[in-house]
Structure 1
Amino acid sequence: MRVVLLGAGHIGQVITRLLADSGDYTVTVADRSAEALSRLPEGVATRVVDTSDARQLLGVLRGHDAVINALPYHLATLAATQAREAGCHYFDLTEDVAATRAIKQLADGAPTAFMPQCGLAPGFVGIVAHHLARQFDTLHDVKMRVGALPAFPTNALKYNLTWSVDGLINEYCHPCEAIRDGRSLEMLPLEGLEHFSLDGVEYEAFNTSGGLGTLCETLDGRVRTLDYKSVRYPGHRDLMKLLFEELQLKDDPDTLKAMLRKSVPSTMQDVVLVFVTASGMRHGTLVQDVFARKVFADRDEARPLSAIQITTAAGICAALDLFREGRLPQRGFIRQEQVALPEFLANRFGRAYQQSRHIESIG
């Protein structure tokens, strides 16, 4: 399969390596940064392209079977529009709710497939949640908790940059979809604070935008409570509320992003936590199923990988691979919950989650 990857950044580097090494994909990587492209493995075709320019995007997409969009979320709709024009199947990592809705409209009646939100959250966590939800005769509650965390937090925020600052601020700023008492509604970000312990570690979780993907629509009328929260170490949420609300930096996101990039170190030593619970009636008994897993960074000296790189790249590569094998619809809009969890975990790329540390996995 001939694939164009848009974006040669932190995640794009790993996607390129996985697909190119598999032997089943011919990969061309496009980015506006020649420096980023120079860090790709030898033998991978590259194109320097202004990824915010529709005409240049269309030019690089033509003649390919599929496009993987690993660009910042605000370019998702533009990339998807050009993919439809070029006749390419489209896959991306966006967590942005508005972009996903626009892509769904683009997919209506399209001869090609459009599958956004193929990362960790949204992405893998939605596949897990839907798998658990299907095991009940009557579904009551589904709670999805995901964290990309530093393994060794030392600063007051108890956080290091492990992925896109743009994506981080986006999920902290926008309304959060949820279902309460069977009704769809929007919750405020950074609210709904809760605390829990898992595997001997204390965490907090709070509302953030985008992690549910399309599950609110899929489970509408079938579930009493559905929500998604980001997991952090205790104290992080209060400091972010100080920055966003009391210092009013939610109205000046560019300044906030510059502050974080300047003052909060990035790390490759991280851990990804996935914690999903579902409860309801099964055979006349009220039961709860839990899926909990930690994925740790690969400390290989030659080619170290962070946990967020591993999980995000595995998500979108597995989605593309299952599509190529005909295990997903071949046209129109594809939801993450249309992926069967056993097939995902059996996939050569999805196995990254199987090789993780199992805390507990039921269902």
Structure 2
Amino acid sequence: MKNILLMGAGKIGEMISTMLAISGDYHVTVADRDDAALARMPKHDGISTLKLDATDAGAMDAALKGKFAVLSACPYTMTKIIAPAAKKAGVHYLDLTEDVASTRLVKELAEGANSAFIPQCGLAPGFISIVAYDMAKKFDKLRNVHMRVGALPKYPSNALKYNLTWSTDGLINEYCNPCEAIVNGRLTEVPPLEEVEHFSLDGMEYEAFNTSGGLGTLCETLSGKVDNLNYRTVRYPGHRDILKLLLQDLRLSERQDLMKDIFEHALPITLQDVVLVFVTVTGMKDGRFTQETYAHKVYAKDIGGKRFSAIQITTSAGICTVLDLLANGKLPQKGFVRQEDVNFDDFIVNRFGSAYAQAVEVGA
């Protein structure tokens, strides 16, 4: 049994600890400074809780001692504290961040490390990169790689047509920061909330627009190999226009703490959600200009006797699968590991990754 330190006792932390504990192969110590959050963690022999302030270096050192890996389910702002502590302790490090600057820090820390540093292990970035790269490798020459992901309420009931499903900090961060892309073969940055497109899938209408971080390291990996590469977040039509009003016209992007308070006060969480994963790749294959599409939906379901949301399941399945592949020697054991280094076939048959395979497949 491998001992894991899980930083963060939020919605995703609850799902990660449940998945790992019921597997029987991991003991998870969930650490947080919030007593109420720790009290909500599942009651299981494979789960312990620890009140811990990550800024206390001595306490972090003690918590990491003897651990196989530390998993960060904290806001991206904590990366600069948790990742260096992992390197100091010689412990494997995995996180869920979508923040570009945080990933660059992790990559720097990975240089010369005796343990693996694997950021961006969630849904987007994370699983979406694994899918897209697996598809891209099958083409002789790439033209376009388009990646679209949405975590949406099944029953939208407000003007935003949205409910909180994961980290509010991460949500606002991806709406506000510049977005990496490859345009006409050139690595560049494009503005968030722009380049809106509309499409239908499985009888539903959606919009998609630029958000930050979803590409992970794919821009670097596919640089010089693809003409156009981009990532856009999927929402119900009308969502983007309201976000532009709030963040740009009313300048709440400059007051993100206030924006977070507004969201968390006005938008309820929901366990009745759906995660949409939509990847389209075009290019030359066997002498023909070809398009291939991956379209998939994942819904909320019961795990370990409790209902969990689709975004909890997909995000947690990502990091738990990567951890499991690392523990079984199917990933490099030290240095920086990209999501593209994860083999799709290994991922989808894994006991945690199969959460994606068990979902409802939809036609494009």
TM-score range, shorter chain: over 0.9
2:16 is matched with 15
Query: Secondary structure of 1:304's match?
Result: strand
Compute the displacement of 1:59 (Å).
2.2
Once the two structures are superposed, residues 99-143 of structure 1 have per-residue CA deviations (whole angstroms, 9 ceiling, x without a partner) of 000000000111110000000000000000000100100111000
CA contact (8 A) 1:162 1:267 kept: yes
Q: How many residues align?
A: 361
2:347 is matched with 344
Q: Which runs of 5+ in 1 are unaligned?
A: none
Once the two structures are superposed, residues 221-241 of structure 1 have per-residue CA deviations (whole angstroms, 9 ceiling, x without a partner) of 000000000000000000000
Paired-residue identity, % = 57
RMSD across aligned C-alpha pairs, in angstroms? Answer: 1.3
Matches of 1:82 and 1:221, distance apart in 2: 35
Compute the displacement of 1:301 (Å).
11
Compute the displacement of 1:42 (Å).
3.2
1:130 is matched with 133
Amino acid corresponding to residue 6 of structure 2 in structure 1: L
Compute the displacement of 1:58 (Å).
2.3
Deviating 4+ runs (over 4 angstroms): 299-302
1:279 is matched with 282
User: Structure 1 residue 164 and structure 2 residue 167: aligned?
Assistant: yes
1:268 is matched with 271
2:40 is matched with 39
2:234 is matched with 231
2:199 is matched with 196
Matches of 1:105 and 1:300, distance apart in 2: 37
Amino acid corresponding to residue 22 of structure 1 in structure 2: S
CA contact (8 A) 1:290 1:360 kept: no
Matches of 1:105 and 1:195, distance apart in 2: 38
CA distance 1:4–1:248, shift in 2 (3 Å): same
Query: Secondary structure of 1:318's match?
Result: helix
Matches of 2:271 and 2:21, distance apart in 1: 23
Matches of 2:237 and 2:363, distance apart in 1: 23
Compute the displacement of 1:346 (Å).
0.4
Amino acid corresponding to residue 44 of structure 2 in structure 1: E
Compute the displacement of 1:300 (Å).
7.5
**TM-score with structure 1 length normalisation?**
0.97
Matches of 2:210 and 2:310, distance apart in 1: 22
Amino acid corresponding to residue 316 of structure 2 in structure 1: A
2:213 is matched with 210
1:331 is matched with 334
Once the two structures are superposed, residues 247-271 of structure 1 have per-residue CA deviations (whole angstroms, 9 ceiling, x without a partner) of 1111111111111111111111100
Matches of 2:161 and 2:357, distance apart in 1: 28
CA contact (8 A) 1:7 1:31 kept: yes
1:54 is aligned, of 54, 57, 73, to 57
Once the two structures are superposed, residues 139-168 of structure 1 have per-residue CA deviations (whole angstroms, 9 ceiling, x without a partner) of 110000000000000100111111111010
1:74 is aligned, of 74, 77, 99, to 77
1:219 is matched with 222
1:151 is matched with 154
Query: Secondary structure of 1:289's match?
Result: strand
